[in-house]
Structure 1
Amino acid sequence: MAAIGKYVIFNEGGFFYKYRLYASNGQALIISEAYKDRKACLGGIDTLKKNIDNLKLDYEKDKKGAWCFRLITQQGRPLAQSANYKTQKDAERAAGSFQKFALTDKIVDEDQTNSDDHYDVQVMEDSISPSSNGKFLILNEDKDYYYQLKANNGQVLCTSQAYLSEKSARDAMENFRKNVYEGSFYIFIDKRKQAFFKLYSKQLRLVMTGETYKTKDMAISAAKSVLKFARDAKVVE
């Protein structure tokens, strides 16, 4: 029997649209970047399918050691990201199988009444006075490099994904610093009732996912702290 997948388009919190690609057994293989409306999301699916043979696979490890792969066009545009896997080899195996489902013509809209996706609230960005008392740390663990932003009281506000070199981590840190003030923050509550912020660029590219908190107010407070400290935070080793 031929492999038949499907794309499912869904609205995330009323702010933007994404799609997931599912295998014929119901497994979610990839989730897309954000799009401003459903039409743009359909265009994203079309772009993925047209570029399927020339996509760059970028393997990433998060701060908890989980691996995923990202799909990037030859022009450097990120399109989608996989689920998390325990090892890089697991992510590589998954990357090798998603292509057989990606060319499906089946596209459906998610039934929001039965959805347990995240919902989100945009953070207000007013009345944030900058402070120079925060700090960025460049961390090196098992040949992986990370950057981390801390508040003046030592609270960890966010930690990056892993990078292969210190330069890559520093470049990503400066890109993050820029997007803090050019992009937008959203607060997410997941189905386990945990809250966290996500920072998106002006182009709706995901830049950073923050730490998890017990309440929405705590996540909002953390996002506001990022706005307060990121601009003038000193970089320490």
Structure 2
Amino acid sequence: MPPGKFHLKKVSNGQFHFNLLASNGQVILSSEQYKARDSALNGIDSVRRNAKRDGAFEVKESSNGKHYFVLKASNGQVVGQSQMYASLASAEQGCESVRRYAPEALLTEDL
């Protein structure tokens, strides 16, 4: 199976943001914005570490009834959030995708 990848980019306000992409190119996790590239790289490392940790994922339901998940570091800080999913089962599959792809995902940059 081809690896997933982290895509790190500099956004219009000069801050940095990354997405974790599955091997098919679909975004499965997005980060917050970071002021520095090194901080964003630390965020990627945190996703790699926490993706395999029990209890790191929290699946939530939005006000419109769609589901999404957040990935939390061991200190409780959110290090990434998914897109919206139509069903709880789909959101849970998204968690599994992060567990599968994040630890070995390649890094690409668009700075």
Taking structure 1 as the reference length, what is the TM-score of the superposition? 0.43
Name the counterpart of 1:76. Answer: 76
- Cα deviation, residue 74, structure 1: 2.0
* Bigger relative contact order (CA 8 A; separation at least 6): 2
SS in 2 for 1:29: strand
Tell me the distance in 1 between the aligned counterparts of 2:105 and 2:51: 14
- Cα deviation, residue 13, structure 1: 2.5
SS in 2 for 1:103: helix
Tell me the distance in 1 between the aligned counterparts of 2:49 and 2:85: 27
User: Residues 178-193 of structure 1 correspond to what in structure 2 (within 5 A)?
Assistant: none
Name the counterpart of 1:7. Answer: 6
- Cα deviation, residue 63, structure 1: 2.2
State whether residues 3 and 101 of structure 1, in contact with CA within 8 Å, keep that contact through their aligned partners in structure 2: no
Percent identity between matched residues is: 26
Amino acid at match of 1:4: P
SS in 1 for 2:104: coil
Amino acid at match of 1:23: A
- Cα deviation, residue 105, structure 1: 4.8
Q: Which runs of 5+ in 1 are unaligned?
A: 112-237
Taking structure 2 as the reference length, what is the TM-score of the superposition? 0.87
Name the counterpart of 1:125. Answer: none
Corresponding residue pairs, total: 110
Tell me the distance in 1 between the aligned counterparts of 2:45 and 2:23: 20
SS in 2 for 1:18: strand
1:18 matched to 2:17? The reply is yes
Name the counterpart of 1:49. Answer: 48
Name the counterpart of 1:228. Answer: none
Name the counterpart of 1:36. Answer: 35
State whether residues 58 and 70 of structure 1, in contact with CA within 8 Å, keep that contact through their aligned partners in structure 2: yes
Amino acid at match of 2:64: K
TM-superposition CA deviations, 1:89-148 (whole Å, max 9, x none): 11011111222111235211237xxxxxxxxxxxxxxxxxxxxxxxxxxxxxxxxxxxxx
Name the counterpart of 1:185. Answer: none
Name the counterpart of 1:98. Answer: 98
Tell me the distance in 1 between the aligned counterparts of 2:80 and 2:105: 18
TM-superposition CA deviations, 1:9-58 (whole Å, max 9, x none): 12232242110011111111100122111111011111221233225211
Q: Which runs of 5+ in 2 are unaligned?
A: none
- Structure whose alpha-carbon radius of gyration is higher: 1
TM-superposition CA deviations, 1:69-92 (whole Å, max 9, x none): 000122101100011100111101
Root mean square deviation, CA, Å: 1.7
Tell me the distance in 2 between the aligned counterparts of 1:84 and 1:69: 8
SS in 1 for 2:89: helix
SS in 2 for 1:85: coil
SS in 2 for 1:26: coil
State whether residues 5 and 101 of structure 1, in contact with CA within 8 Å, keep that contact through their aligned partners in structure 2: yes
